[in-house]
Each structure stands twice: as structure tokens, then as C-alpha cells.
Amino acid sequence: MNILISAYGCSPVRGSEYGIGWNVVKQIAKNHSHKCWVLTNITDQSQIEQELANSPLDNVTFVFVAMSEGSRNSGLSHYLYYIAWQIRAFFVAKKLQSEIGFDLVHHVTYQNSW
């Protein structure tokens, strides 16, 4: 089964939403009949790559979604930045869908209600 996860917050060293994102991915990775692609924010890339160097998840591919230079410091609130990231992630997911064909898509983080 090919699974696409959207986890804006996903980190092996941060807690809360970021820890939830990371732990959901780890749980899915335990079933080796599944292949998993994870869309996540590029800001946690170094933490994720460092953890994967020590504890690989062979059936998981992380896709780091980057925003344009300066958009983080453009004066947008965190929530507006997150919405803009979701739009960017949608187009990345659409491209991946045409290349891979997912059986399941799951939005993991953020999960709060505003």
C-alpha cells in the first residue's frame, strides 16, 4: 500500500504536534508492506536526516516542502505561513500522486482547531 502523509510538524526531537507527526510515521513504518511518503516542512530536515542516519526507516521517503526565500520572515503570521505551506504541499502531493498513485492520504499535523 502506498501512503501519503501530510505532517507539517514532524520532528524526532520536538514534542507536541511535531512529536505526534514523527510517531505516526514511525508506527506506519513498522508495517513493511506499506510504503510511505511524508510531506513535511523543510525547517526540520536536518533533525529528521540525523535521526534517519541512526535509525533508518527504509519504507519511508520524506519530501521536504520549502517555501520561497523570505516568506517565513515576510511578516505573515505563523498561521498564514502554515496555510501558504499547505497550498504548496497540495501541488507537491498532486505531482507525487501522478507519479506514484497513493492508496491512502492522511493529514496528521497540525491537528489543532483554531
pLDDT, residue 77, reads 75
Give domain limits for the chain: 2-109
Structure pTM? 0.89
Query: Is pLDDT at 60 greater than 90 in this prediction?
Result: yes
Question: Mind listing the pLDDT tens digit for each residue in 76-89?
Answer: 677 788 888 999 99
Query: Is pLDDT at 72 greater than 90 in this prediction?
Result: no
Q: What separation in angstroms does the CA of 43 have from each of 1, 38, 81?
A: 28, 14, 13
pLDDT, residue 79, reads 79
Higher-confidence position of 84 and 49: 49
Rounded Cα distance between 85 and 2, Å, is 23
Average of per-residue pLDDT across 55-74: 83
